[in-house]
Chain A
């Protein structure tokens, strides 16, 4: 059974600081996803990571993937209040075709001025 663990689950940080969210998964996977969810809203795709060593950046967010360690990180640089949200990583089982996602419990991020 594929398991996905995120840490921390809660994070309160000040604007301007840097921090990293970690996502570990238990079995081989073809694809790893990062999503953002604002309260009462849907899930917004941030990154899709396909291969070992993949690194993607969008604004103050950067995601990386180490398939050998089964670890992905989401790094926040110089945080701003607008980044306050819940961040989920999700993993798709190997197989090549479309598959359902297994989600981590999410990291609830609060960025204080």
Chain B
């Protein structure tokens, strides 16, 4: 089975440019999460969606960050304009509905991440 697919794997761009990260969740999973990992702050939740609807975006750093999930198989995380402090590894994860008993012991499945460097 295909796992969570993220693209690009690596992105290097200059400060001020727009960056778009993409994620395809596992088919059938109805929850999608965006996380950011840095040495200083560790792993942080940015935003998550249930059934394509944003539920909690309190982790989004500021207005420069936005995320969308236009359908069940695709999500984007956009940074505009980008800054050097946005450099990090961005992970997308998905999970089935844990409210259903048959999925209650399912973890969140993580993609390989996008390593973003803003110069």
Spell out A's residues near B (CB within 8 Å).
30-31, 33, 35, 41-45, 48, 50, 88, 90, 96-106
Contacts and interface: CB of A to CB of B under 8 A. Distances in A.
Interface string B78-117: 0000000000000101010111000011111111110000
Contacts of A100: 33, 45, 48, 56, 59
24 contacts: A31-B98, A31-B104, A33-B107, A35-B110, A42-B91, A43-B93, A43-B110, A48-B106, A48-B107, A50-B105, A90-B43, A96-B98, A96-B99, A97-B50, A98-B30, A98-B98, A99-B56, A100-B33, A100-B56, A101-B33, A101-B35, A102-B45, A103-B42, A104-B42
B31 interface: yes
Q: Main secondary structure on chain A at its contact with chain B?
A: strand
Q: Select the residue from B105, B106, B113 with max chain A CB neighbours within 10 A.
A: B105
A98 B97 contact: yes
B69 to A, nearest CB: 13
A105 B41 CA distance: 8
Contacts of B91: 42-43
Contact of B111 (A30, A42, A45, A104): A42
Interface residues of B, number: 28
Contacts of A33: 107-108
Given A31-B98, A97-B99, A100-B48, A45 B109 contact: yes
Given A97-B50, A97-B98, A105-B42, 16 more contacts: A42-B113, A45-B108, A45-B109, A48-B107, A50-B104, A50-B105, A97-B99, A98-B50, A98-B97, A99-B48, A100-B33, A101-B33, A101-B45, A103-B42, A103-B43, A106-B43
Contacts of B109: 45
Q: Would you list the 4 A-B pairs with minimal beta carbon distance, nearest first?
A: A98-B31, A45-B107, A100-B45, A103-B43
Contact of A101 (B108, B112, B113): B108
B9 to A, nearest CB: 11
